[in-house]
Structure formats: C-alpha cells, structure tokens
Amino acid sequence: MNIPTQPPSWQPPGWQPLPPQPPPRKSWPARHKVWTTVFAVVGALVVLGIIGAALGSGKGKSASGTTAAVSTTAPAVSATSAAPEPVPSPAGNISGACDVSLSDSIYGQNYLTATVTATNTGNIGTIVRIKVAWPLQGFPSITKVKTVHTAAGSTKQVQFRAPVSESQVSQFQDMQLSSSDDNPCSYHATILSTYGSAH
C-alpha cells in the first residue's frame, strides 16, 4: 500500500515561520562604558575619602577633603587635596651700631655699648647667637655674646654693654676715631636652631 507523501515545502495551514531572533541585548554596563567608568571613579574617591577621614581622625590631624560630582549632561569628577607643607628655610641678617657710655661721676662705671638689630627673613622661627666685638687700640677686642629667639618675619633689637676702665675707653675711642663711620665694632650672627613650624 502506498502512503501518499507530502512535498517537503508543505506546512500545516495557519502556520508561519518565526521571524529571525534579534541578538541578545548587552548588559547596562556594557552599553554605557563612560558612565560605568565615572561611577567607578566616584565610588573609589568616596571610599578613599572615608579611609582618609578615619585615619586622619585617629592621628589628631584633619583629613583633606575629597569631593566628587556627577552631572546628568556631562560627566565631571573633581578632587581636592591639601597643599604640601612648606620646607623650613631659616634665614636672617643683622646690623649694629656701637659707642661708649661714660659715667657722670668721677669714679663711676663706664661701658662700651652696642645695639644690634636682628631680622628673621626666613619662614620659621630661629634661635640666633649674636656676638659683638669692640676693638681696642693695641689690645684684644672686648666681646659679648647673647642668644635670642626671632619669629619668622620679625625684627628684634638686642642691647649689649660691657664694663670698661678709663684706659679701655681711650683705646676704644682711638679705634672709633680711625673708623670712617665711628662704628668700628664687628657683629656676627649664627643660627643655632629653629623652632615652631614653617609658614
């Protein structure tokens, strides 16, 4: 018995072939790479800010602020950080003037005097050793030393005096007369150390 066969193109009535399947849709991060990057950077900055605040508060120092912003029209990320602390730079200069102070009484005490102006031109406080030398004609100089503190950017006047005899007054005045500006003394300053923080 012969069973009629249907041609290969035959399809049941009402049946239509399925339309071709569209390719599977990509995930949101794969479709929006720029936004994914922006959100990742913002998230990292927030985490770093939290860690910095936690570490900073444990040491008693204030943590630097970190901010981030995202715009719906254009991505924008900004971060601020604290400026580095200035490097200490101690510096300064001195100038001076010296003279003699004679007693009003016959047997009173005479003094060699000097005024030294110390100026701190650096960015940190300094401890300065200042030495004044009064020259004497034919004899070693008389010296006096003082140590002073000068704050950054400040000026300080330092007074010196040395008791002398009548003959030492004459020896100093001989040097004073031979000096072009009546100021034969020498002045030396040495920065011994610093104090405070740099500005």
Query: In terms of domains, do 76 and 119 share one?
Result: no
* R_g of the chain, CA atoms, integer Å: 44
- 98 shares its domain with 43: no
Which parts of the chain fold into alpha helices (H)? Answer: 28-31, 33-59, 166-178
- Asked whether residue 10 carries a pLDDT value surpassing 60, the answer given is no
Residue 18 lies in a domain: no
The lowest-confidence range among 2-16, 32-46, 125-139 is 2-16
Position 185 in a domain: yes
Average pLDDT, integer, range 52-76: 50
3-class secondary structure, 79: coil
Residues in contact with 153: Cβ distance below 8 Å, sequence separation at least 6, in sequence order: 120, 121, 123, 199
What pLDDT sits at residue 52? Answer: 75
3-state secondary structure of 30: helix
What residues form DSSP beta bridges with 149?
127
Total structural domains within the chain: 2
Q: Higher pLDDT residue, 145 or 46?
A: 145
pLDDT digits (tens, 9 = 90+) for 42-63: 777 877 778 777 776 554 444 3
Residue 51 sits in the same domain as residue 99 = no
Query: What would the pLDDT profile of 84-123 be if each residue is shown by its tens digit?
Result: 889 999 999 999 999 999 999 988 999 999 999 999 999 9
Residue 41 located in a structural domain:
yes
pLDDT of residue 39: 77
Q: Beta 110-120 vs 155-164: how paired, if at all?
A: antiparallel
Phi, psi (rounded to 5 degrees) for 169:
-60, -45
Q: Are residues 102 and 75 in the same domain?
A: no
Asked whether residue 132 falls in the same domain as residue 185, the answer is yes
CATH of the domain at 156: 2.60.40
- b/e sequence 126-149, b meaning 16+ C-beta within 10 Å: bebebbbbbbbeeeeebeeeeebe
Whether 77 and 149 share a structural domain: no
Check whether residue 133 and residue 191 sit in a common domain.
Answer: yes
pLDDT above 70 covers a percentage of the chain that reads 72
What number of H helices and E strands is found in the chain? 3, 6
Tell me, yes or no, whether 20 lies in a domain.
Answer: no
User: Domain boundary residue among 83, 109, 125?
Assistant: 83
Q: Which residue has the tokens 């701190």?
A: 120
190 and 143 in one domain?
yes
Query: Where in the sequence is the domain holding 65, given as residue range(s)?
Result: 31-83
